[in-house]
Amino acid sequence: MINYPEPGAKYKHYKGGLYEVITLATHTESTELMVVYKSLLFGSIYVRPLNVWNEDVADSKEKRFTKLI
């Protein structure tokens, strides 16, 4: 089952940063699904492949991003 992040929802990165998902996008050449999100502290915009967004952190059972309630 694929976990799709919710646009508008806030997420915490395992290193502590807080982010808001803007939307999902499709890479024009590879058709890979991408997560478009922004830093809540700086407003910077980032894009990360969906499979990387959902993966566990290496050497840990922790998720890379955790949804805030």
Task: Answer yes or no: is 49 within a domain.
Answer: yes
The 10s digit of each residue's pLDDT in 9-55 is 999 999 999 999 999 999 999 999 999 999 999 999 999 999 999 99
Domain ranges, residue 49: 33-63
Question: Which DSSP string corresponds to 18-61?
Answer: EEEEEEEEE-TTT--EEEEEEETTT--EEEEEHHHHHSBPTTSS
CB 10 within 8 A of CB 19: yes
Largest CA distance in the chain: 35
Task: Answer yes or no: is 41 within a domain.
Answer: yes
Per-residue pLDDT band for 1 (boundaries 50, 70, 90) equals: confident
Task: Answer yes or no: is 6 within a domain.
Answer: no
What's the total number of domains in the chain? 1
Task: Answer yes or no: is 43 within a domain.
Answer: yes
Per-residue pLDDT band for 59 (boundaries 50, 70, 90) equals: confident
3-state secondary structure of 8: coil
Statement: residue 68 has pLDDT above 90: yes
Per-residue pLDDT band for 8 (boundaries 50, 70, 90) equals: very high
Task: Answer yes or no: is 24 within a domain.
Answer: no
In one-letter notation, the amino acid at residue 51 is: N
Task: Answer yes or no: is 48 within a domain.
Answer: yes
